[in-house]
C-alpha cells in the first residue's frame, strides 16, 4: 500500500482511539509529509477540525507555491468545507481512500482542475462502516445532517 495513504489511515485510527471520527489526512510535498491530521471535532469540541483541516492546520502557514506542489491524501471523500480549503490553497492532487460511505465534492474539485483518484480501500471503508453503525448520531453531526 502507498505509504502516504497508510499514514492517513494511521491518523484515522488515532481519531477512533480518541473517541472521535476515523478520518485521517496527510499533505505531501516532494515525497515528504508536511502536515498530518485526523478528525478532532469531538475531541476538541470543534466545528471545523475535519481530517483535512487538521492536516492543513498542522502543516502551518506556508507559501501558496508550496501547497500548489502538494498531494493531499484523505481516507474519505472531502466534504464541501475541506474541498473549499483544497481549492483555496491550490492543492493539485487528492488521493481519496474511499467514497462509498460518503461522496464529497469530488466533481467540484475535478471541475476546478484538481486530479482526484479514489482507491476504494477496504480498511477505510471498514473504519467508516464501523463508526456509522455504532454512532450514527455522531456521523450525522459530522456531515451536517
Annotated active-site residue 52? The verdict is yes
DSSP 3-state assignment of 10?
helix
Positive/negative CA dihedral, 134, 136, 137, 140:
positive
Cα–Cα distance for residue pair 93/96, rounded to 1 Å: 10
Q: Where are the alpha helices (DSSP H) in the chain?
A: 3-17, 41-44, 51-59, 64-67, 80-88, 106-111, 122-134, 136-142
Selecting among 52, 105, 106, 123, the annotated active-site residue is: 52
Which of 122, 126, 88 minimizes the C-alpha distance to 108? 88
Active site members: 52
Amino acid at each position: 500500500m502507498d505509504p502516504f495513504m497508510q499514514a492517513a489511515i494511521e491518523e484515522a485510527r488515532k481519531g477512533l482511539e480518541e473517541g472521535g471520527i476515523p478520518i485521517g489526512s496527510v499533505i505531501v510535498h516532494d515525497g515528504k509529509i508536511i502536515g498530518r491530521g485526523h478528525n478532532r471535532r469531538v475531541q476538541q469540541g470543534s466545528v471545523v477540525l475535519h481530517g483535512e483541516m487538521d492536516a492543513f492546520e498542522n502543516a502551518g502557514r506556508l507559501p501558496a507555491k508550496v501547497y500548489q506542489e502538494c498531494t493531499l491524501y484523505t481516507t474519505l471523500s472531502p466534504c464541501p468545507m475541506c474541498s473549499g480549503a483544497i481549492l483555496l490553497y491550490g492543492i493539485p492532487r487528492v488521493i481519496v481512500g474511499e467514497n462509498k460511505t460518503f461522496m464529497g465534492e469530488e466533481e467540484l474539485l475535478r471541475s476546478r482542475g484538481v486530479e482526484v483518484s479514489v482507491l476504494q480501500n477496504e480498511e477505510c471503508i471498514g473504519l467508516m462502516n464501523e463508526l456509522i453503525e455504532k454512532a450514527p448520531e455522531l456521523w450525522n453531526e459530522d456531515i451536517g445532517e
